[in-house]
Amino acid sequence: MKLPKWLRKVLVVTITVCTFGLVTPPASLMAADEPAADDSPSSDWQNNHSGSQMASVASEQETRAPILTRQQFIEQTMEKAVVQSYEKFGRKIAPVIKEEFRDVILPRIEEVIASLAEQYPEEQLQYLAVTENPSGGIGERIFHIYRVDTGEDIIRFHVRREHPPQDGYWFQFHYHTYHDHFQTHYELGKIYWDKNTPPQWRT
C-alpha cells in the first residue's frame, strides 16, 4: 500500500526526532515521487511580508506561480503542519505523544484543512501559507494558516495544557477561525501526558 506523501514525511520526521538522528529512516520512506512540472509552487509565498511587499509578492504569484489543485494544497499544508508540530513538541514530548498525535489529531487537522480548501477557488490557494516558529515555553501556538496577500490569519491551530483536579496533565488540541474573530475553541482532541508536569514546548 502506497502511503500519502505527507504521511511518509511524518514518519521520517518522527523517526529522526525520536532517535535523535541516530537511525536513518527506511529508503522506502525517503524515496520522493517525481515532482510534476506544476507541482512545486514558488517558495516566495511562504514568507511573511507586510504592506507593499505583500502586494508585490501577490502580483508576482499571479504571473509565475502555478495554480495549486486542492489535493496539492492539502498535501503541502499537511507536510508543513507536521514539521511545525514536531518542532513545537521538542525531543522530550514528541516521543511520548507521537503515535496518538499521528493517529488521532493529524487526521482531524487534515479534515479542517480540506474544508478550508473547499472555501477557496483553486487559483486563490497559492495565497494561503503556514506560519513558522511555533511558540515555546507554555505558549499555545502550533501554526497558523494566513493569507500572504493581506497578512491576515485564517485559522489558528493551538494546543494548551489542562490539569483537571485530581487528574494528570492533558494536551488539548484545538483551532480558531477568523469567522468569529478567533473566539471559539473547536476541539481536535486530547492526549494524556502524565501526573507529572510536562516539559516546556520546544525543549
Instruction: Indicate the residue type of 68.
Output: L
pLDDT value, residue 5: 72
Please tell me the predicted confidence (pLDDT) of residue 67: 87
From residue 5, give the alpha-carbon distance in Å to each of 37, 58, 124: 17, 27, 23
The per-residue pLDDT for 66 is 74
Q: What is the pLDDT of residues 109-121, one digit of tens each?
A: 999 999 999 999 9
Q: Which residues of the chain have pLDDT under 50?
A: 33-53, 55, 57, 61-63
Neighbour count for residue 39 (Cβ, 10 Å): 14
Is residue 185 within 8 A of residue 176, CB to CB? The reply is yes
Instruction: Give me the pLDDT at residue 106, please.
Output: 98
What is the per-residue pLDDT for 199?
Answer: 98
CA–chain centroid gap for 128, Å, is: 12
Q: What is the pLDDT of residue 168?
A: 95
- Are the beta carbons of 176 and 183 closer than 8 angstroms? yes
The 10 Å Cβ neighbour count of residue 141 is 17
Tell me the CB-side half-sphere exposure of residue 57, using CA atoms within 13 A: 23
To the nearest whole number, what is the mean pLDDT of the chain? 83
Which residue in 122, 193, 112 sits closest to 155, CA to CA? 112
